[in-house]
A and B are shown apart, each in its own frame.
Chain A
């Protein structure tokens, strides 16, 4: 019986969409928090936001957008039965994820280097509200980073499953759901970018 359930294409999609709703609400809570904190400290947020590197943020946006394109193409490829191309595109998506994480690592590293990290001395010395801005920055981009990591692992697994034909032209819902997940990660980043990098 569970076999039959697993072949329920619609069911799988509904399940995935519901899961995405929950993820969105998870970040929704943080967006409420951000809105509240910003309303309390408009100037501090403005000031602190200047210190984030817009080029690095934009670079990561480009990476994610490109990867979303890759994964969409990977799904089309497997629909058309082009296994090789689909493996390649899925692999490329995962690589973009990894690249995003490296870039994020560099960015965080730079901040750490200047003593800007949770509980760090430089942060404690900041005027009221600025420390909070960076705190939220670490929490929200950190949580997003965890999602990127999860997505990257997921897509890597998908590439393997594609190669082993466990995901195939007549049964590709796993890849499709992974793609949906990846789009979510992308969309959330689109919100984070203006909130943190472009808020100045």
Chain B
């Protein structure tokens, strides 16, 4: 009996499910809905720039839109995305376990997620207008503005709780529930990436939690912790905010790298090159990534020494990321590459993430940063990383694991077409933003000067192609869900554990817990598939 088979109770049996696979799907459903809402908002913001002046929406609405767009994309999509959906679904299977260590806690995490999401939506329609601070909730504005910031901030707090519980659950599961014979060095690399991510989630999320609580307390009690008039310091807020939010960037990207590391060997028919280097670079990224937060604050007024040190550290953190890129390339080298959709998206990830990473390193340089701070360059950079990186990895993961998750096969042609639309649209939209930024177009601006207008038109047209591509991609998935032909157990010739069980997986994953005798990527030439 597969985990998808009705188990009585209909919807109720899903909302009370403790099966990690069902919980993964609960996340996927909710997340996809929010993702599309935020995409709609993004496209609306771009539409506004069809005119340089007052057009379509008011300036205040624009402020609310980029705030909501950012909050949803960051806290509801890219941060939880891969761990909550694919980590939940596949991590236990990949280590040969029947479930996570704390199944009920896992369900509770989803409820926190759903609650946080609901509160975020409520914050739009209650109080004195939707929050207009940007997703960073910077003080003093977040404390002074009359809009519904407290509720939005509380929503982010609850979402953080969900993230912590997921991390805690994963770390414990990975420590305790690996199948016999699965040593640390026989663990698939996606699991390694989740392990590193789990630690970041557990250790830094509480810091944003308390920071957000402080914003709420300030709004109600004016204690003055961030108010110079009372002896506080607004820059302190930024330190606390980025102590979490920079590492959070790695909560987004490390699992994405993990997914890519699963896909590339499968479609190159080769073992991953440099297994240990990839495993440990995940840990290194998690570690170093926690020490570079203040590169977001070069222009906020810090001591010169601090500027220097954080600039230096920022360069260092690029090293483990580069290691991974080299290892992927080396794996591809002389592989028998099959350009299946999942592989195509994975390779696009490498390309887009490389641009995102390089533009990031550029900003790590003090002088360049001062020039580019708060321009569209930043917006271009982080979309390359978060959307081109994590977003594309999310799509690649869906394309790779969809047959396993649902037991249905999608049509590959629309998946390729979607890729074409998205890839072209993406670069039109965000590369243009990089250019606009170097020309001096500030971010979060409602209006723009005439000399920027043509570039804005290109970007807006790009956003249409991109959105169209997304619709094709997900439309294809929906169609496959209902009309797709039946998927085999192992359509891609993968050799990690999930491909050894039926599609969709049975209720407790394994009839008999497997015993592991070799590493996860032992492709050899004689092997079929």
Q: List the interface of chain A (C-beta within 8 A of B).
A: 1-2, 5, 8, 10-11, 14-15, 18-19, 21-23, 25-30, 32-33, 36-37, 40-41, 44, 118-119, 128-132, 135-136, 138-139
Contact = CB atoms under 8 A, between A and B. Distances in A.
Interface stretch (B215-223, B378-386, B446-454): B215-223
B240 A32 contact: yes
A129 B229 CA distance: 9
Given A18-B167, A37-B236, 14 more contacts: A2-B103, A10-B175, A10-B176, A11-B101, A22-B168, A22-B203, A29-B209, A29-B210, A32-B240, A41-B231, A118-B223, A119-B220, A131-B230, A136-B225
Nearest to A9: B176
Q: Say whether chain A's binding surface is mostly helix, strand, loop, or mixed.
A: helix
B214 interface: yes
A49 to B, nearest CB: 14
B231 A128 contact: yes
Contacts of A136: 223, 225
B508 interface: yes
A86 B202 CA distance: 32
B427 interface: no
22 contacts: A2-B18, A8-B101, A11-B101, A11-B176, A14-B172, A15-B105, A21-B202, A22-B202, A25-B205, A27-B210, A29-B206, A29-B211, A29-B240, A33-B214, A37-B232, A37-B236, A40-B233, A129-B231, A131-B223, A132-B232, A135-B230, A139-B225
Contacts of A23: 206
B204 A25 contact: yes
A37 B171 contact: no
B312 interface: no
Given A11-B176, A14-B175, A128-B229, A5 B102 contact: yes
A11 B206 CA distance: 22
A40 B171 CA distance: 39
Contact of A18 (B100, B172, B231, B508): B172
B119 interface: no
Given A18-B168, A25-B203, A2 B104 contact: yes
B197 to A, nearest CB: 13
A11 B98 contact: no
A11 B101 CA distance: 7
A170 to B, nearest CB: 20
A33 B243 CA distance: 12
A14 to B, nearest CB: 5
B52 interface: no
A119 B168 CA distance: 38
A5 B103 contact: yes
B202 A26 contact: no
A93 to B, nearest CB: 25
B484 interface: no
Contact of A33 (B100, B103, B225): B225
B261 to A, nearest CB: 25
